[in-house]
Structure 1
Amino acid sequence: MIRDTSAQDRVIQAAPGRRRQVVIAVGALALLALGVLAWPQLQRLGSGTAGTSVSESRLTISAVERGAFVRDIAGEGKVVAANAPTLYASNGGAVTLLVHAGDKVARGQVLARIDSPDLANRLAQERSNADSMRADVLRAQVDARQQSAQLQSEYENASIDLKTAQNDLDRQTQAFKAGAAASMQVDHARDTLEKARVTLTHAAAGRGMKEDALKFDVQAKQAALARQELLVKDLQRQVGELEVRSPADGQVGQLLVAERATVAKDAQLLTVIDLSALEVQMQVAESFARDLAIGMPGDISGGGQNWKGSISTVSPEVVNGEVAARLRFDGAQPEQLRQNQRLSVRVLLDKRDNVTFLRRGSFADENGGTAVYLLRDDGTAERVPVRLGARSLDKVEVLDGLKPGDRVVISGGDAFGSAPRVTISH
């Protein structure tokens, strides 16, 4: 058998009461430490100054500062052409495209042709009508000259007849005085003279009226010819517009129709981008849009470069809670920019010195922005009224209620539940 060590074991008796003393001492030390740690809280609870306790880790705290206050808008913009016209079909027909998307074009260059047989036939017909009416005008002018010559001849014959009658009356009167003619012959000569005078008067009046009528007829035919020539010119203009020309130096954007497609009048054909006048368009939140104004300065950056610009246009329409604004480059336009290229944009709305402000946080929207929680030295946050002013992306102007150096809860205050005083635990 294997021998064990039972013969070597010995029971040791503990001193009476020693374990109890150790336990009591440890418990007393623990209670003392707990009392020291909890004494500030118990003191505040006893005085009734804070009914709510919130951990400081849940809060964002910032100090009130005084200095330069800058209001700006920063965002992403894209390069757009200030002039990017869409070209339309002036008449219906089959389209022949002479360029491709992305091709560089010059002002006046033919980009597409529209084949319109109906318009060409109308132009030919109206030209023929104009030629016919031009011949009518010439014929009317010749006829007017002929009739005017005939009327002149009748007038001159009447004048001769009047003079002949006057001479005959003079001879008969002399003969009557000499006793060689009867008084009846003198009366007959006098009647003949009167008749010749009436005939001459009628010839003169008839010549004037007929010449006026002939003149009016010629003028009417000339006016009709002028109207017809205007119609021909308009048709020539329409035929000329069948050649779609570039309105500016630039680049072809999109081809909106297929080759040899048949289009209706006013159909979209293609777009031309004027690369000599580029702008940067950015979307601005509706809350900042009311502060934008044409001419405000801005900074444009991209690809490691920076450019100065200014607002050229602000859209009067709000779309999806945003307003479109465009910035024009100051000075020479940068090179190597492309349509829809992304750039960073910053627009300066306002800049002032010696302004009291806070970092922007949710407090600006909570409680209508009329109150904030101010941290006190005793570890509490007290709700105090404030009056806020202008707001930027990262700062809020303080007009009244706070002073530089005050520490304020700028975020997380929704956990306070509008309590007048809150305990901040560490």
Structure 2
Amino acid sequence: MIKDTSEQDVRVTTNTSKKPKLYIALASIVFVAIAVWQIGPAVAKWGKANNVVAKDRVRIASVTRGDFTRDISALGRVVAAVSPTVYAPADGTITLLIEAGHEVEVDQALAKLDSPELTNRLFQEQANLANLQSQLKRQKIQAKKQQLIDQKAVDLAQVRLTSAKREKRRADQGFEKSAISQIDYEKAQDELENAKLQFQHAKQDSSLNRESLDFDGESLSLDIKRQQLLVAELQRQVDGLTIRSPVKGIVGNLATNNKTFLSKNQEILTVVDLSNFEVEIDIPESYADDLAIGMDVNVQYEQADFSARLVTISPEILNNQVTGRVRFTNQPPRNLRQNQRINTQIILEHKADVLQVKRGQFLDSSGGRYVYLINDDMAIKTPVRLGARSLSHIEILEGLNEGQQVIVSNTDLFNSAEQVLLTQ
């Protein structure tokens, strides 16, 4: 007889063991260890960093090795290699024979200048030249007359000398035969001496007169030559009143109006030779000491490079710039226009196998004394020594190695911190 279900029931006892709590504790410890293992380095970096900056706010570049070219980029202006300006050679009224934009040939008449003063001076000096030439002719006639007179005096003295010699011989014979007195004999001797002196003086006077006439003639000849030079110069100036083109080209801007009175050396017009162009560039004065005549220049025109050379450098600085002229070494670009703007690149220096990094604003932030080197998301302030600088790269002399990465953007937001953490 079954009184109840006690025989079938099994007594359940409550488990008061601490094992589940132990498991929970172990699981928590493992979780914390994993968290520390994962977060620990980050926390350590946070602890070392003096500043934290998002990585997308900076620009990073690698240190490379290769050819380095130091250059200057300057905006150039196309100018004609030959563009002479014509000026008024004298005071006068200008008459233009051409207009701006006309094509002209060499020595073609461009304008005429009416200068009555210069023309009258030429006529006056021509008259003076004719007067001197007339005086020279008169002098030659007078010289011939004087030569005849002198020759006549010499001939008469010669005759008197011959007569005195004959009388002296007669006196000698008479005195030997006691036909004449001592006084008459001595008189014959005196007349002979007198005739000799007259003949000698006549020859000397003739020679002296000839020298005097020759001197007067040479003096007049020199005056004529000087006057001829003066007339030739005035003739050249009068011929220069017809203004002619010094080159083949196109007439540029006219600096005066037609039928205008101009002063001497006043600008008239400019002739532009379009067969040969050069590029005029303005370079910042900070590069003035680096410039030298003969440097290679690349001229960019219509997405193509043309080789050129720096041929002139201005000796003075205007508006903080130095002006230079660039001449094409090979065939220049086609369709160039006067005053057209083009880009130029002056090659200052070229080096091979140079450690370098891209140029950036970090130069302004650090003054080139240090850079921020990237090491495992940490930007470390690293001293460097920089060398030459080009438009795109900077030479590294000390402080960095090839393959390292540095921040090349502005680092003012780092506040000169020694270490900066870069976050994603």
Normalising by structure 1, report the TM-score: 0.86
Partner of 1:13: none
Instruction: Label 1:36 to 1:54 Cα distance change in 2 as closer, same or farther (>3 A).
Output: farther
Rounded to whole Å, the distance in 2 between the matches of 1:119 and 1:95 is: 14
Structure 1 residues 68-77 or 139-148, which shifts more? 68-77
Count of matched residue positions in the alignment of Structure 1 and Structure 2:
393
Native 8 Å contact 1:133 1:225 kept in 2: yes
Counterparts of 1:318-357 in structure 2, within 5 Å, are: 318-357=317-356
| CA offsets 1:159-207 (integer angstroms, 9 cap, x no match) | 1111110110101211222233223221111111111111112212222
Instruction: Label 1:395 to 1:334 Cα distance change in 2 as closer, same or farther (>3 A).
Output: closer
| CA offsets 1:338-374 (integer angstroms, 9 cap, x no match) | 2112333233333333221111012223333121111
Rounded to whole Å, the distance in 1 between the matches of 2:349 and 2:183 is: 119
Structure 1 residues 245-254 or 257-266, which shifts more? 245-254
Rounded to whole Å, the distance in 2 between the matches of 1:362 and 1:370 is: 13
Partner of 1:207: 206
Rounded to whole Å, the distance in 2 between the matches of 1:35 and 1:392 is: 48
Partner of 1:57: 56
Rounded to whole Å, the distance in 2 between the matches of 1:243 and 1:397 is: 61
2:408 counterpart SS class: strand
Native 8 Å contact 1:58 1:412 kept in 2: no
Rounded to whole Å, the distance in 2 between the matches of 1:281 and 1:89 is: 28
Q: Does 1:102 align with 2:98?
A: no
Native 8 Å contact 2:294 2:310 kept in 1: yes
Share of identical aligned residues, percent? Answer: 38
Native 8 Å contact 2:311 2:327 kept in 1: yes
Shift of 1:246: 1.1
The one-letter code of the counterpart of 1:178 is K
Shift of 1:84: 1.1
Q: Does 1:423 align with 2:405?
A: no
Partner of 2:123: 124
Rounded to whole Å, the distance in 1 between the matches of 2:170 and 2:334 is: 108
2:275 counterpart SS class: coil
Rounded to whole Å, the distance in 2 between the matches of 1:333 and 1:423 is: 54
> What RMSD, in angstroms, separates the aligned Cα atoms of the two structures?
2.4
Partner of 1:20: none
Shift of 1:68: 2.5
1:274 counterpart SS class: strand
The one-letter code of the counterpart of 2:380 is E
Shift of 1:308: 2.4
Instruction: Label 1:106 to 1:69 Cα distance change in 2 as closer, same or farther (>3 A).
Output: same
The one-letter code of the counterpart of 2:166 is N
The one-letter code of the counterpart of 2:240 is E
1:277 counterpart SS class: strand
The one-letter code of the counterpart of 1:250 is G
Rounded to whole Å, the distance in 1 between the matches of 2:60 and 2:74 is: 27
Partner of 1:297: 296
Structure 1 residues 280-289 or 153-162, which shifts more? 280-289
Rounded to whole Å, the distance in 1 between the matches of 2:123 and 2:55 is: 90
| CA offsets 1:250-295 (integer angstroms, 9 cap, x no match) | 1111110001110100000001112232112222333334333322
Native 8 Å contact 2:360 2:410 kept in 1: no
The one-letter code of the counterpart of 2:405 is R
1:290 counterpart SS class: helix
Native 8 Å contact 2:301 2:333 kept in 1: no
Rounded to whole Å, the distance in 2 between the matches of 1:42 and 1:65 is: 33
Q: 2:382 aligns with which of 369, 373, 384?
A: 384
Instruction: Label 1:410 to 1:257 Cα distance change in 2 as closer, same or farther (>3 A).
Output: same
Rounded to whole Å, the distance in 2 between the matches of 1:136 and 1:380 is: 106
The one-letter code of the counterpart of 1:395 is H
Shift of 1:417: 2.1
Q: 1:393 aligns with which of 391, 394, 416?
A: 391
2:192 counterpart SS class: helix
Instruction: Label 1:335 to 1:411 Cα distance change in 2 as closer, same or farther (>3 A).
Output: closer
Partner of 1:402: 400
Partner of 1:43: 44
2:290 counterpart SS class: coil
Instruction: Label 1:176 to 1:84 Cα distance change in 2 as closer, same or farther (>3 A).
Output: same
Partner of 2:368: 369
Counterparts of 1:15-414 in structure 2, within 5 Å, are: 40=41, 42-46=43-47, 49-303=48-302, 305-377=304-376, 379-414=377-412
Rounded to whole Å, the distance in 2 between the matches of 1:315 and 1:280 is: 14
Structure 2: 5+ residue runs without aligned partners? 1-27
Shift of 1:212: 1.7
Rounded to whole Å, the distance in 2 between the matches of 1:305 and 1:410 is: 30
Rounded to whole Å, the distance in 1 between the matches of 2:179 and 2:352 is: 132
Shift of 1:64: 1.1
Instruction: Label 1:236 to 1:153 Cα distance change in 2 as closer, same or farther (>3 A).
Output: same
Shift of 1:72: 2.8
Native 8 Å contact 1:107 1:249 kept in 2: yes
Rounded to whole Å, the distance in 1 between the matches of 2:220 and 2:298 is: 68
Instruction: Label 1:259 to 1:35 Cα distance change in 2 as closer, same or farther (>3 A).
Output: farther
